[in-house]
Every structure is written in C-alpha cells, then in structure tokens.
Chain A
Amino acid sequence: GAGVSQTPSNKVTEKGKYVELRCDPISGHTALYWYRQSLGQGPEFLIYFQGTGAADDSGLPNDRFFAVRPEGSVSTLKIQRTERGDSAVYLCASSLRGTRDLLETQYFGPGTRLLVL
C-alpha cells in the first residue's frame, strides 16, 4: 500500500507569512508524529497524535506552531508569523498503534522542505 505522503514537497515563503504543511499517514495507522530536521542534524520531535488528540506536544518550539488531526487521519502542521529560523525539513511519520509496543516502528514520509526568506 501507499506510504506516508507529505505536501507540498517544497515550500518557499516570506518572513512573517503563515504556512500549512500536510501529512497523509499510512491508512489505518492511529499514531502520527511530526519532526523537524535542520541541515546536518537528526530529526527533532515536535508533536505526537494518538487518534485525534495530541498525546505529546512538548517539542513544539513556541506558540507559533500548531498541529491538528481532526478526523484521526490527515494532519496539518501550521506555522504562524514564520521566521528564517523555521527553515528546515518537516518530517511526518505514522505507526500502527502508537501504544507502548516495543516492536513498533515509525514509517516516515519524504518531508516538506520549508524555506523562509
């Protein structure tokens, strides 16, 4: 079946603008995760959804960042008043149960490359 998909693949915006990044998880996966990856670094956790609710949003850097998953499937990461430091690759992942399953892995999408000018 289809893997995790993310749109757009690239986004260029100006400082101060609002952007939305979309993630379509693998069908049937209840858990969804957002990470941010800066150049030369490993991914950094942002937020994790179990179904429709955010189970852990401790990685969101500030209140300009917000994510939703209203129907427990597609998720949107929203960034208000973008800053140049927000430029990064935003990765989305999904997993089947999102419970404390020690064998469960996260399946990653290709990412959205955000550039804030």
Chain B
Amino acid sequence: KQEVTQIPAALSVPEGENLVLNCSFTDSAIYNLQWFRQDPGKGLTSLLLIQSSQREQTSGRLNASLDKSSGRSTLYIAASQPGDSATYLCAVAGGTSYGKLTFGQGTILTVHP
C-alpha cells in the first residue's frame, strides 16, 4: 500500500525567504507526482505535475523535483510572499488504478510580513 509522508507538518518563515517542502513515498511505481495548494475552506489547486520519467518541473517561483528511485520529491518556493500562505499537499498516482491519488497529510505554510 502506497504511503505518502510530508515534512515538516508546519513551517513559518519571514517574507522573502526561500524554502523547501519535502515529500516521500513508499512505492516507487508511480505514474506521476503532483503538488497541490489548499487555502482554508477551499478546494485543491494543482501547482505542478511531474511525470515519472521527469526529474523536475518549474512554474514561476515554484520548482518541484522528483527522485523516483529514492521515493522523494521536494517543492522549492523562491522569495516567499504572504500570499503563499496555505497548506501544500503532495500526491502520487500509481499502482493498478491510475485515477487514484494518494495524498500526504500536508505542510501548513505561513509567510509573515
């Protein structure tokens, strides 16, 4: 059974700092890995999707890397802003059901001015 773990559970940083969120998964047989953002009381917004054959994806100030063999991914946020404050969720798709995403428990990020 796939298990996804995110570290740290919560992170508080001053505005402008670069930061890294970590995600690990137990079964390396994945199709892709996604990072989502969730704002309080809202649904999830997809930030980046990395195919299993890829090593990284970039979008603006966000960069996600994937090391499938070691079961790890990182989300790097450059020059953090208060508007980045949210919960960040990592999810993997794999196994016999490609429609099923397995999520980590999330990292709660607070960026203070």
B102 lies within 8 A of chain A by Cβ = yes
Question: A-side interface residues toward B, CB under 8 Å?
Answer: 4, 31, 33, 35, 40-45, 48, 50, 55-56, 58-59, 91, 93, 95, 98-100, 102-103, 105-111
**Contacts of A45 on B, CB cut-off 8 Å?**
100-102
- A30 to B: closest C-beta gap in Å: 11
> Chain B, 52-89, contact with A by CB distance < 8 Å: what is the 0/1 string?
11000000000000000000000000000000000001
**Contacts of A103 on B, CB cut-off 8 Å?**
32, 49, 51
**Contacts of A58 on B, CB cut-off 8 Å?**
97, 100
Q: A105 to B49, Cβ gap below 8 A?
A: yes
Q: A42-B4, A91-B43 are known contacts. Are A106 and B101 too (CB-CB below 8 A)?
A: yes
Q: A43 to B103, Cβ gap below 8 A?
A: yes
Main secondary structure of the interface of A (DSSP, over half): loop
Could you list 22 examples of A-B contacts with CB < 8 Å? A4-B43, A33-B100, A35-B103, A41-B105, A42-B91, A42-B104, A43-B44, A48-B99, A55-B99, A56-B97, A56-B99, A93-B44, A95-B99, A99-B98, A102-B51, A103-B49, A105-B34, A107-B46, A108-B36, A108-B43, A110-B42, A110-B43
B31, B41, B100: which contacts A100 (Cβ < 8 A)? Answer: B31
Complex alpha-carbon distance, A107 and B98, angstroms:
15
> Chain B, 99-113, contact with A by CB distance < 8 Å: what is the 0/1 string?
111111110000000
Q: A56-B97, A105-B34 are known contacts. Are A110 and B103 too (CB-CB below 8 A)?
A: no
